[in-house]
Amino acid sequence: MNKEIKLFNHIFKNPIIPASGCFGFGYEFSDLYDLNILGSIALKGTTLNARYGNPLPRIAECQAGLINAIGLQNPGVFQVINEELPKLAKVYNDLVIANVGGHSKEEYLAVVKEFNKASKVLAIELNISCPNVKEGGMAFGQDPNVCYELVKEVKKVCQKPLIAKLSPNVKDIREMAIACENAGADAISLINTLVGMRIDLKTRKPIISVTKGGYSGPGVFPVALNMVYQVYEATKLPIIGMGGITSARDVIEMMLAGASLCMVGAYNLVNPYAAKEIIFDLDNVMKELKITNLADIIGKAHC
């Protein structure tokens, strides 16, 4: 059975990629299993300068997932390139996906230019859910015109395949995907987290220090699946699907909806062996469903 997927003129040995923010910089998991079984790794979101992130507490558990408001904590792009990537290269042989965040167009451009120089980076995933300081804090990914302008400007300087990561917190996900396609994106990844909150019954206050955060986990899977399905029909761009994936069966379902690759996010925080177990179980599920070549099922749920 063939699990290989070709994208960006690169052969992914399988479609399973730990999602950004849920796998650190990768090497932290190398004591648990051989990372070289992974299709790739999406690095922790990276900004121009180091960020501490939001004050504690910034995690709240839910019955079907968790809410986080980490706030893009990271050591900054220069340390990522000079220290984190070399550490990862010692335990992982393949290329990775860099995730770029920023609070202004200028910051996005600066970070992308630095990652252009990193030979370990195959593609750049643009997190357009970050607030745009020039638009009063509104996320770049909430307005198709703002999104279009950002992706267009980044594409001008980006020397690697550019993936636009979409937020589900919009009126029409198709409109956002079309804007990214028109601006020159090479692929779409979705979904980023939904917005949620929890309240401490004893203090009667929000658990998260900044009140709300990103809701992820198995509870969002049907929402993610629907949005991947919609974007597949709205654009011709390849899709990286994510949102609540916890099993090989979820992966098959996501690929039938239109995803070429699948990112596993919050489940890594619950089960650090999640990606490994999903990869190993793919053979069993493919055999059961009589799938000989995984690439053949992409988008096959569409009439």
Give the 3-state secondary structure of residue 240: strand
pLDDT greater than 90 at residue 37:
yes
Is residue 262 part of the annotated active site? The answer reads no
Check residue 130 and give its pLDDT. Answer: 77
Using an 8 Å Cβ cutoff, are 263 and 243 in contact?
no
**Residues 96-142: tens digit of each pLDDT:** 999 999 999 999 999 999 999 999 999 999 999 877 657 766 689 99
Using an 8 Å Cβ cutoff, are 195 and 215 in contact?
yes
Percent of all residues in the chain with a pLDDT value above 90, rounded to a whole number = 94
* Cis ω for the linkage preceding 57 (within 30 of 0): yes
Overall average pLDDT of the 228-247 stretch:
98
Looking at residue 47, what DSSP letter applies? Answer: -
Query: 11-22 burial, b if ≥16 CB within 10 A, otherwise e?
Result: ebebbbbbbbbb
Check residue 217 and give its pLDDT. Answer: 96
Check residue 133 and give its pLDDT. Answer: 59
Percent of all residues in the chain with a pLDDT value above 70, rounded to a whole number = 98
Listed in sequence order, the DSSP H helices in 207-297 are 221-234, 248-257, 267-270, 274-288
Segments making up each domain of the chain, as ranges:
5-297
> pTM to 2 decimals?
0.96
Architecture of domain 5-297: Alpha-Beta Barrel (3.20)
pLDDT band for position 161 (50/70/90)? very high
Using an 8 Å Cβ cutoff, are 161 and 116 in contact?
no
Tell which residue, 206, 185, 182, has the closest CA to residue 196. Answer: 206
Q: What six digits make up the tokens of 175? A: 């409109």
List all residues 6 or more positions away from 35 whose beta carbon is below 8 Å from its beta carbon: 26, 27, 29, 41, 91, 92
Looking at residue 237, what DSSP letter applies? Answer: S
Annotated active-site residue in 22, 130, 180, 262: 130
Q: How many CA atoms lie within 13 A of 80 on its CB side?
A: 33
**Residues 52-92: tens digit of each pLDDT:** 999 999 999 998 999 999 989 999 999 999 999 999 999 99
Tell which residue, 107, 108, 179, has the closest CA to residue 142. Answer: 179
Looking at residue 48, what DSSP letter applies? Answer: S
Distance CA 147, CA 287 (A): 41
Looking at residue 295, what DSSP letter applies? Answer: G
Check residue 303 and give its pLDDT. Answer: 77
